Amino acid sequence: MLNNSKRWWDLLSVSLFLAALITVTYRLADTRWTDHLEIVIGLAFIGALLGLALGYSRFSPQTVGVFGLIFTLFFVTWQLGELTPSNYIWLERLWLLGDRMWQNLVLFLRNQPLNDSILFLANMALLFWLVGISTGYQLTRYGKPWQGLIVLGIALVVIDLYHPPLAQSGVATGVFAVLALLLFSRLNYLKNARQWEDEQIGVDTDTGFNLIRSSLIILIVVVFFAWNAPRIVRAVVPNTPERQRMIQSLQSLRERFQNVTNPLRGSVAVPDEFYADEYALGTGSQLTDATVFTVQASITQRIGVPYYWRIRSYDTYENGRWESTVTNRQPLRVGSPPLDYPQYSRRLNVRFDFRPVRNLSMVYVPGLPVGINHNVELIYDGSELGKIEDVVTVLADPDIPPGSTYQVTSSIASPTIAAMREAGEEYPQWVTDRYLQLPPDLPQSIRDLAAEITAGLETPYDKAAAITLWLRENIAYSATIPNPPAGRDPVEWVLFEHKQAFCNYYASAEVLMLRSLGIPARWVIGYAQGFLDEEEDLYWVRDLDRHAWPEVFFPGIGWVEFEPTAFQAAIERPSGSNAEDRTPLPQPNPNQPQLLDDFEEATQPEENQASSPINLQTTPLVSATLIILGLLIAGIIIFLLAANGRRRRWFPQQSLPLFLETNLRKRGWRIPRWLQQWSYYSQLSPIQRSFYSIHWLCRLLKIPISPAQTPAEQVQTLMHYLPECEPAALQLLQEYQKIAYSPYPADAGTAQQSARLIWKLAFQKRGKIILAKLRGRPLESSA
């Protein structure tokens, strides 16, 4: 250990440093860019105190480094872990925290918007913790806190530059400048005082006080003029080249980190989602995996039948181009009575909560809209004016800004195959007038192919299913195709010559062939279902999910989706021919609020949703604060890119252990047992995890338990060795059996509480055994 007689401990210097640190961290917290920013204040303060103590101690720099690493891992992880739900044990909290961090890091590396601000929060917490502990150490050990103060100054400038509501007054900047310069003046005086003492030069005892007083007066005057200098410059010389160059230099960085700041409260210029009356089939394009929107449905148990997020439908085809000729419009305002479609059966009302990343002029609406909590205008069709029997598209009025949330309740077609076969062919007049249209020059070969595929079939459903299957089996999927030859119908060219296509051509071919057989069909564009995060009950819809599909009209049911595109999963509807298929329709998701009978209450504007843009005002200002974040994680990005050799295509929404196991298995490597167990554990539900903890418990107590035992047998074995846990163990078993073997809902909270009680009793039992061994007396068995 080192002698601490030459330490730089000075109460005034320490106070100035702590005040400067707290000023910057409070300034960050006052931006309110995300929740829980206040933890940065506490972490920075604790880190500074520990740094001051380590700097004053006799420990060597190497020992201080070890202590600093331990403190960093404990305090930062502890504060971030406190943000997870308190009903989890700490092991689960740490796993959830790591999983959230990994998911957001993967999205960041893929240049996708994030839905969770944990990455930003963790990096801010780590940054200011490191500044606090390192600067405190440098202050008391060497009297040189300048590196940390420079980082704090840069952070404050960045915050002020991109958060004008408080930056216009500049109070924090002025206070920090005064404190930093006073600290510089004080440390300079202490250094000179030591030199004067070594040279035995006499100094007036009031010298230190007079120096600080003079410095304070000078600094207040200088800061006052510097405070107002930018306003004077802007007033005298507007739009200077220097300012333009600065804005341009920051623009590229702002665009790069825009995705990371997506979960923070603010707004940014984003693409607009709009489809015109006409749509050309085109040649395709390479779509990205950028997130377009997320959606939560009140019912997710639609096994084999995905949702389709419709934007617009088209009715008229001519030479490779679709057109929508429907012009009827009717406004649908917030609080209006819900729409009703009594002519249709076998439909299900489902509520959807959408959160778009893009500005919406046209609203994503699956099925037939019943109501929406945003003012819209419907473009509709029907047998008479004012009677809504079909909705072609929904126009937002006004546009729905990105980052907001809107809620739609839709009537979703949920027919069985038997119901579609029995629907008949008595089509309404408005359907046959518009949705049997074919171009006069439609090639005869398309008509002949449709007749050949459906030969011997009687019902419209069987014919539609046969054409769907033929397209999936005979046309290969390709995201792009060459330009069709001039003078050839593009659909005919794809069917008989090129035999490769993407969704636009699959859907067009099916619609044209069905219409040639007298079956009403239409061409629809929007998005496929996307990826379902089962833990969050949230659908993630990306740009690569952009899709076109055919819909077929069935009397008494309405429009029903079919999926001829080979790239998409086939739709598997219930047959309706046995008791299993006739079970009640899926029940609402318990994680979603229950659908209201009175829809007027459900369609009222909610706070922080589409009707309230209050959370969408500061994202461009927030973006540049990620300069600090970029500096911290640049090393991580470089390492990952170097390790992979090139930027890889990451699979989103996959847990870290599952990601590692999948990639090791692809390369033919042996999977370590611990990784297999970790991957298995990460895919379990909360109740399954609670029950799985029995295995760890038995290992701790050295209880012989076999994976071949049934859950009931495992619990019986545990109760034999630990009788006092019987009530909790039986309760845990009951909840596990509900979710594993019955359709009844299980209570995750009860299961977790029972697991925690079992662990508590086990630790108590283990402690008694150890204590008894130390005393030399065996513990009496209670079994």
Judge whether 664 and 671 are in contact, CB under 8 Å.
yes
Q: Does residue 438 register a pLDDT over 80?
A: yes
Q: Which of 343-357, 396-410, 508-522, 581-595 has the lowest mean pLDDT?
A: 581-595
CB atoms within 10 A of CB 556: 15
Lowest mean per-residue pLDDT among 42-56, 187-201, 330-344, 626-640: 626-640
DSSP annotation string for 381-420? E-SSTT--SEEEEEEEEEEEPTT--EEEEEEEE---HHHH
Q: What number of helices (H) and strands (E) belong to the chain?
A: 25, 20
What is the DSSP secondary-structure string of 170-222?
-HHHHHHHHHHHHHHHHHHHHHHHHHHHHTT----TTHHHHHHHHHHHHHHHH
Q: How far is CA 647 from CA 427, 591, 634, in A?
A: 53, 37, 15
Helix (H, G, I), strand (E, B) or coil at 500: strand
User: In this structure, what are the phi and psi dihedrals at residue 409, rounded to the nearest 5 degrees?
Assistant: -110, 125
Range from 121-125, 194-198, 200-204, 686-690 that averages highest in pLDDT: 121-125
At 607, the pLDDT band (50, 70, 90 cuts) reads very low
Beta carbons of 178 and 220 less than 8 angstroms apart: yes
In this prediction, residues 73-100 reach a mean pLDDT of: 78
Find the DSSP H helices in 37-117. 39-56, 61-81, 90-109
- For residues 334-340, give the mean pLDDT: 85
Predicted pLDDT at 112: 66
Whole-angstrom distance, CA of residue 540 vs CA of residue 116 = 13
Average pLDDT of the chain, as a whole number: 76
Burial of 162 (0-12, 13-18, 19+ CB in 10 A): buried
Q: What is the pLDDT of residues 219-259, one digit of tens each?
A: 555 555 555 455 444 444 444 444 444 444 444 444 445 44
User: What is the average per-residue pLDDT within 55-63?
Assistant: 86
Helix (H, G, I), strand (E, B) or coil at 733: helix
Tracing tokens 């009677």 back to the chain, one arrives at 387
Is the pLDDT confidence value at 657 over 80? no
pLDDT, tens digit, for every residue of 451-490? 999 999 999 999 999 999 999 999 999 988 998 898 889 9
pLDDT reported for residue 750? 85
Maximum mean pLDDT: which of 214-228, 322-336, 601-615: 322-336
Two structure tokens written together for 612: 């309230």
Q: Which residues lie closer than 8 Å to 20 by C-beta, 6 or more apart?
A: 149, 152, 176, 179, 180, 183
State yes or no: pLDDT of 671 exceeds 70: yes
3-state secondary structure of 541: strand
pLDDT score for 610: 36
| Residue 35, both tokens | 């929740």
Split at pLDDT 50, 70, 90, the class of 552 is very high
**What is each CA distance from 245 to 231, 236, 237, in whole angstroms?**
19, 18, 15
Distance from C-alpha of 376 to C-alpha of 399, rounded to nearest angstrom: 9
Burial class (CB in 10 A: 0-12, 13-18, 19+), 640: middle
Decide which of 739 and 610 is more confident: 739
Conformational region of residue 549, where left means phi above 0, alpha means psi within -120 to 50, and beta covers everything else: beta
Q: Does the pLDDT at position 651 exceed 70? A: no
Residue with tokens 């003046």: 185
pLDDT tens by residue, 587-597: 444 444 444 34
Asked whether 278 and 519 are in contact (CB, 8 A), the reply is no
The token pair that represents 105 in the structure block: 């890091």
pLDDT at residue 544 tops 70? yes
3-state secondary structure 253-301: HHHHCCCCCCCCCCCCCCCEECCCCEEECCCECCCCCCEEEEEEECCCC
Q: Which two tokens stand for residue 230?
A: 């930018």
Enter the tokens of residue 373: 């909590």
Per-residue model confidence (pLDDT) at position 224: 53
Residue 558: pLDDT above 70? yes
Question: What value does the mean pLDDT take over residues 662-672?
Answer: 67
Query: Longest C-alpha distance within the chain, in Å?
Result: 115
Tell me the two tokens of residue 30.
């006052």
Q: Record the tokens describing residue 624, joined without a space.
A: 């540049």
| pLDDT of amino acid 185 | 73
Whether residue 654 has pLDDT greater than 80: no
- Kindly state the average pLDDT of the residues 556-571: 92
Mean pLDDT of 66-95: 81
Angle between helix axes 11-30 and 171-198 (nearest 10 degrees) is: 160
Both structure tokens of 364: 């994503």
Mean pLDDT, rounded, for 307-311: 92
